[in-house]
A and B are shown apart, each in its own frame.
Chain A
Amino acid sequence: MKSMKTVGIYVLIALVMVGFFIPIYWMVSTSIKELVDVFAVPPKIFKFDLTWKNYTDYFGPGSPTSQLEQLGNSIIVALMNGLLATAIGAAIAYGSTVYDFKRKNSYLFWILSLRMLPPVAFAVPFFIFARTLYLLDTRFVLVLMYCLFNVPLAVWLLRSFFSEIPKEIREAALADGATEYQIFFRLFLPLARSGIVVTFLFTVIFAWNEFLLALVLTSRNAKTMPVAITSFWSTMQINWGGFASTGTILFIPIMILSLVLGKQIVRGLTFGAVKE
């Protein structure tokens, strides 16, 4: 009796995993299929000829339809914003962890509330600001604007990591005459090294995936991949190969990062609220 229930559960779990994995597999496999096989009815799931055409067409350096520039934009914006947001977030997280001040709760709650805001509500002011400062269609404007949701993420994530550092360490250092900066740079940052890496990776992931602000604020020069991928869909037809290869390229780094993050994933996606 009991083992039947266990088998049943395992079957269900397997079904669930397949269900969540199939669309992704579909996209990746479509990117390496010949166009003919993509449209095959019944669909060819495992047996098909391999081709790298979609990648050489859209990511090959010499190809006229190459998206290497957009890929570069995505990488640069994601990495730079990750660094910026993590750095700013670390400073605020440190300050709010070790110091107390009036209205600290309100301050922290305000920072958290920034995550609640729909980006579209800020798209209009951001667009006008960027336009006025001639910053439209630059990578810099994205690196700056993404701080709106990445700095709160960094602050709250790093707070949850910093709070795991015992108070005594800081007190001992203070008694030894260390300055705040020394404690921050030489003590907290190294101790929370893995937490900082986790935070950095999450800010990178969110910046990498961001679509709306990139859509509104960029056009030709600073276009990022999420925006570029929508150009494969027109009213007439869908460029399956282009979409699948671009989507896969967008997906693979995230997959690698999420494997690296392992069980910290839940922590990151809930802004540090839920730990494993």
Chain B
Amino acid sequence: MSLIDRKKRNLFLVRASFFAPGTLILIGLSIFPFLYAVILSLFNWNLARPQWGVHFVSIKNYIDLLLTSRFRVSIVTTFIILGGSVCLQLVLGIFIALLLTNSQVKGIRIIRAIIILPSVVTPVVVGLLWLLLYKHEFGLINFLLTKAGLRQINWLTTVWGARFALIIADTWQWTPFVSLVVLAGIMSIPQSIIEASKVDGTNPIQYFFHIMLPMIKPSILVALLIRTIDGFRVFDKIFAITKGGPGGATETLSYYIYVRGFNNFEMGVAAAASVFLLVLVTIVVQMILKVFGADKLFVSR
């Protein structure tokens, strides 16, 4: 090999060494398990019933899932809880961000430090915390409701009560995050535009809808994307508060996969449902990106 070729090869090896270990690990943790799950989904394997053996059943698991109403319901439930949580978080988050826009700079630090706390608390702890608050007998929420003269609510024993319980707990945890993201977007509006709109005599409502909103669209999109993606993953709180109940009212697709895979140990079925979930998430994310016209979002440095 000539000197130049050897130098080129060494340079390539050096450069590759930055990527190789990490990329290998990531492939091993993502692509490999995914392929394995796809293959696994074509088999019939129950860990709790080893005597049944492992048989190739091709797409039987997928067909069975589609024919199982509980599976279909779990997808609907996922969207119900996801939709409710994300909408609430966005609306409240934007509202709070607007509130904070007008504050002095000094106060912001303390406010931010306190307000971000829910978003960094362990989600399962948040779940158990709200369980405490919801429990019918000594729940703080019902106590406050009665004090306000309203009726107590059966949070965890009714279908919609449980769903709202989850939505509220999730909203409580993540609204601060959304508000801080939107706030960052608002703070990045150039001063010149603010001045110009004042000179032009725009009133606050016009300002909000025609100037601010378009300018903070990227921030809102980031928050929306992240919360939507996380919405599909909600598991910790469901496990903590309702365990999918009552009667499957809060059983999202994620929880359903857990039940089939780790309560019933039906590995093949759980794998098939996992593939469904991954495809679903990908489609929804692509749709959101398309709607916001952000398919080409990522540009290299």
Residues on A facing B (Cβ under 8 Å): 6, 9-10, 12-13, 16-17, 19-21, 23-24, 26-27, 30, 39, 41-43, 88-89, 91-92, 94-97, 99-100, 104-105, 108-109, 111-112, 114-129, 144-145, 147-148, 151-152, 155, 159, 163, 179-181, 184, 205, 208-209, 211-212, 215-216, 226, 229-230, 232-233, 238, 240, 243, 247, 250-251, 254-255, 257-259, 262-263, 265-266, 269-270, 273-276
Contact = CB atoms under 8 A, between A and B. Distances in A.
Contact of A265 (B15, B21, B36, B116): B116
A21 B114 contact: yes
Contact of A9 (B102, B133, B177): B102
Interface of B: 14-15, 17-19, 21-23, 25-26, 29-30, 32-34, 36-37, 40, 96, 99-100, 102-103, 109, 111-126, 128-133, 135, 138, 140, 143, 172, 175-177, 180-181, 184-185, 187, 219, 222, 226, 229, 232-233, 235-236, 239-240, 254, 257-258, 261-262, 267, 270-271, 274-275, 277-278, 281-282, 285, 298-301
B36 A216 contact: no
A17 B236 CA distance: 24
A212 B117 contact: no
B135 A238 contact: yes
A160 B140 CA distance: 43
B37 A125 contact: yes
B22 A92 contact: yes
A230 B184 contact: no
Contacts of B25: 88, 144, 147, 151
Contact of A118 (B120, B125, B185, B233): B233
Given A250-B125, A258-B117, A274-B184, A230 B22 contact: no
A116 B229 contact: yes
Contacts of A104: 300
A47 to B, nearest CB: 16
Query: Which secondary structure dominates where chain B touches chain A?
Result: helix
A215 to B, nearest CB: 8
8 contacts: A95-B15, A114-B26, A120-B258, A122-B34, A129-B36, A147-B25, A180-B14, A251-B121
B124 A230 contact: yes
A17 B42 CA distance: 51
Given A20-B118, A123-B262, A270 B226 contact: yes
A115 B180 CA distance: 20
A273 B222 contact: yes
A119 B233 contact: yes
* A-B CB proximity, top 6 nearest: A95-B18, A125-B33, A121-B274, A88-B22, A118-B233, A209-B122
A20 B59 CA distance: 47
Contacts of B229: 115-116
B219 A274 contact: yes
A271 to B, nearest CB: 8
A247 B133 CA distance: 15
B172 A20 contact: yes
A43 B112 contact: no
A126 B33 contact: yes
A21 B301 CA distance: 39
A233 B128 contact: yes
